[in-house]
Structure 1
Amino acid sequence: MTTENMDRGDPLSDDERAELERLRAASAARTHRNGHPLRWTGVGILLTLTGILLFGTVTARFARSEIFDTDHYVATVAPLADDPAIQNELADRLTTAIVTHVDIAGLTAQAVDALTENVSQLADRPRISAALSSLPPLVAAQAESFIHQTARSFVAGDEFAQAWISANRLVHQSLVGIVTGQTRPGIEVDADGTVSISLQPIVAKVRTELDARGFAFADRIPEIDTRFVLFESTELPKAQRIVRALDRAANILPWIAAGCVIGAVRLAPKGFRLRALALAGLSGAISMIALGVALIITRGLYLESIPSDTMSPDAARALFDTVVTPLRTGMRAIAALALFIATGAYLAGPSHSARTVRQEFRRLPDAIRSRRGDGKPSAAEQFAARHRTPLRVAVLTVAALALMFWSYPTAMVVIGIAAAAGLVLMALEGFARSDPEHESS
């Protein structure tokens, strides 16, 4: 850029404008190095708090949704009714409960004894008794197989799916009592931290199904209150306190996190606020990575804490992975949003690579304007050019708040919000246009 161009009022060329922006960035960098170390220290503290608060926000909102939102909880656990591991576990549990309470071998032995006593010729009785001696264990084995097949068929049907949903809906009404240290009918918390639900209604339905299939011992099956373990943790009292604290903080943490981001951006030296916003996005992404690692560790500890005689490893994995699905969804949604904010703020910043991207993007709108023969930019275009940075920050902030306070954001919600914000930002870059005469004056 030459002083002659400035004196004549000629518009700046692209190279001259890029050089001017480079000099401004260098000047701002020198100002940062010489006079703003305390500002950046404060920014670092606020961004660290942002990551911690986002970690707590996602966890707290997950805990609250699973404990206090019955519809959401039922929607979360409903797929378990179709999970083969859960179906096998329930079929095994139902079969064991019935076989334990019905002595099929003993009843068969009694029937054999009655049959041999009615043999007319005493000489034939020992031979017949010897021939029938193997019948009770064979009948017991066949009966157990038949019971398991019937139970497996029942838990794979639509009737069980509805019964599973109804049972969990009723159980959920007692979950609040669990986290407050109280128990209610239908759900049980043992001293060792085991949380289980009653399968008595399902046993009754299986007994009815056995009777309909002609099972001779169906009328001998008593009222059985076997249980299906949902969770088992010796740390339940501590978890109760944590969940109650997270529930109270669920509505507060997002606002504090947003305040920390705004504070970090405002505290950053002038000319570096978009960089601070980009760092805030990275802080959020790192926080979600940390939450993912914590979830992996928790999963391992949970699976190790469930004895194999309480629940099969496959069923335990299916239960845990299904229940934490909303947490994984929220974690990924916030991570995607954070990376989107970091990328958007970086591309909107003063770096050479970001300027190159923006210049390349402006080529198409400039070509369209040149073909239309447009003259001076309109007032709206000049306004957008003068306030480009605040408008960028506003778009990114709205996108962040929209996703942060979305009740249960999915991947499609994240993609939709990010796409909408990206389109707005691209439209802003193409629409904003300064007055050349005003620039060169």
Structure 2
Amino acid sequence: MNATPDPTVNESMDTSAVVSKQSPADYQRVFPKRLRSVLSGILIVIALVISPVAITTSWAKNELASTDIFVAQLAPLASDPAVQAMLTDEAVAAIEASVDLDAIASDLFDGLKTLDLPPRSAAALALLEAPAVAGARSVIRSTVQEAVQSDAFAGLWANTLRLSHEQVTGALAGDPDTALSLSASGEIGINLGPLVASVRQQLIDNGMTFATAIPEIDRIVPLGQSDAMTSARFGYNLVLQLGLWLPLVCLVAFSGGILLARRRARAAIWTGISLAVISALLAGGVAAGKLAALSAVTPDPLPRDAADAIIQAATVGLAQPIKLMITIGIVTAIVAYLSGPFRGAAALRRGTSSLLIRVRGAAERSGITTGGFGRMLHRLRVLTRVVVIIVALVILIMSRPLSGATIILVVLSAAVLLLILELLSRPELPVNGRGPGVPTAPEPTA
């Protein structure tokens, strides 16, 4: 008896055979693409998540590690009218608290009364006591105002900022040459060594030869205990490390994510847009934080307008990297679109290329050509483009403050320069011997 074949079994066997033959190839072809896409997405997400932290820690690192940047940002406060008014009020209050003008004037006029003056002169003298005190206060205030508004005070302010920053960062870094000392246990003290050395040198300069016998002093005068300062030292070192490495990690993650993407143009576009949006949100958060800090300041120790000036000066350096990241994000998205496989971008590239070809052709027919220099530019076109982009980025990074006008000017200048380089470049002669920029006849179709 012959058994009829089961078509289901045959179909299953055929399917298994097909799967067994195609699965390895499909696996080799599909799995790497999927793996690349997954890794690309992970790297881009990591870069986007840490980018605000990288921006903030990079700014904090510059503020903490660079005394020059710190002084450059806060030194202009000496010329701020609100800060000058606050300093004048505080200085006048301190002087009047130390000097009893009423008592001095009273003693002075009491002494004058003992001079046996005529009655009318004595009566007039009594009337002058209050105006004299008021005049003295006016002279003190005007003198303080002139001092605060002088160039000498601006220099003193900058030197004070520099010394304060160096002392604080030196203490946090454990520098033994700073006047402020912080032990590992959190004990704060004054290091007498630099002070004694300075006094010793001044005595020697003044002819006091006995000062040469003063030895070097290594003594710490303890001022108190602070566990918070120990935490501050840890935070200081942490910020220095994060500010150095996080931007590099962020850059590598962005680059790796885009390079691993299957559709690099789309990945670069969305990465650039996301970076710009996140940076803009960070700018909004900084603005909200400044408003919160300003509202928390009480007018008694610090007037509101002076507090606003100080907060603005302290955070002005953070606006620089935020603007830079927004610019990089937008420019990255635009460049990725223009160089990507999109209809609009392709049409624009064809139109630009056709225009450049016509301009080159017209110039060559008029006897104007870049010759060997143009051919060299064509061979090195990738290098020249990279150099232009790097120079533009360096200009943006070094521009302080970074304004919107500067960003637009640098970006447009870079675009125009790239266009000029493309125009000056001279592609190699085609095989048919026709010069560059001269359209060739279409080949006949079969």
Shorter-chain TM band:
0.5 to 0.7
Partner of 1:210: none
1:155 and 1:179, CA in 2 relative to 1: closer, same or farther beyond 3 A?
same
CA displacement 1:149-202 (0-9 Å, x = unmatched) = 111111111111111111112112123157569997589xxxxxxxxxxxxxxx
Partner of 1:76: 73
* Residue pairs, 1:263-342, within 5 angstroms: 263-269=256-262, 272-342=263-333
Secondary structure at 1:59 match in 2:
helix
User: Are positions 1:358 and 2:355 aligned together?
Assistant: no
Partner of 1:174: 167
Q: Is the 8 A contact 2:71 2:161 kept in 1?
A: yes
Q: Percent identity over the alignment?
A: 26
CA displacement 1:77-130 (0-9 Å, x = unmatched) = 221121111111111111110011111012212223333344468xx59x957x
Q: How many pairs align?
A: 353
Amino acid aligned to 2:82: A
Q: What residue ranges of structure 1 are gaps of 5+ in the alignment?
A: 1-33, 188-234
Distance 1:323 1:281 in 2: 29
Partner of 1:8: none
1:273 and 1:403, CA in 2 relative to 1: closer, same or farther beyond 3 A?
farther
1:240 and 1:137, CA in 2 relative to 1: closer, same or farther beyond 3 A?
farther
Distance 2:443 2:68 in 1: 58
**TM-score for both structures, normalised by structure 2:** 0.64
Match of 2:86 among 57, 76, 89: 89
1:179 and 1:309, CA in 2 relative to 1: closer, same or farther beyond 3 A?
farther
Amino acid aligned to 2:147: F
Q: Which has the larger radius of gyration?
A: 2
> How many Å apart are 1:279 and its aligned residue?
1.9
1:396 and 1:256, CA in 2 relative to 1: closer, same or farther beyond 3 A?
farther
Partner of 1:249: 242
Amino acid aligned to 2:277: I
Distance 2:337 2:48 in 1: 19
Q: Is the 8 A contact 1:57 1:250 kept in 2?
A: yes
1:243 and 1:369, CA in 2 relative to 1: closer, same or farther beyond 3 A?
same
Amino acid aligned to 1:334: M
Q: What residue ranges of structure 2 are gaps of 5+ in the alignment?
A: 1-30, 182-227, 431-439
1:186 and 1:105, CA in 2 relative to 1: closer, same or farther beyond 3 A?
farther
Partner of 1:202: none
User: Are positions 1:156 and 2:152 aligned together?
Assistant: no
Partner of 1:219: none
User: Are positions 1:368 and 2:359 aligned together?
Assistant: yes
* Residue pairs, 1:407-426, within 5 angstroms: 410-411=402-403, 418-419=411-412, 421-423=414-416, 425-426=418-419
Amino acid aligned to 1:64: K
Q: Is the 8 A contact 1:80 1:318 kept in 2?
A: yes
Q: Is the 8 A contact 2:392 2:411 kept in 1?
A: no
CA displacement 1:316-365 (0-9 Å, x = unmatched) = 11111122222212221222122111111111111122123222322321
Distance 1:404 1:49 in 2: 25
> How many Å apart are 1:429 and its aligned residue?
6.5
* Residue pairs, 1:217-232, within 5 angstroms: none
Partner of 2:55: 58
CA-atom RMSD in angstroms: 4.6
Amino acid aligned to 1:274: A
1:144 and 1:380, CA in 2 relative to 1: closer, same or farther beyond 3 A?
closer
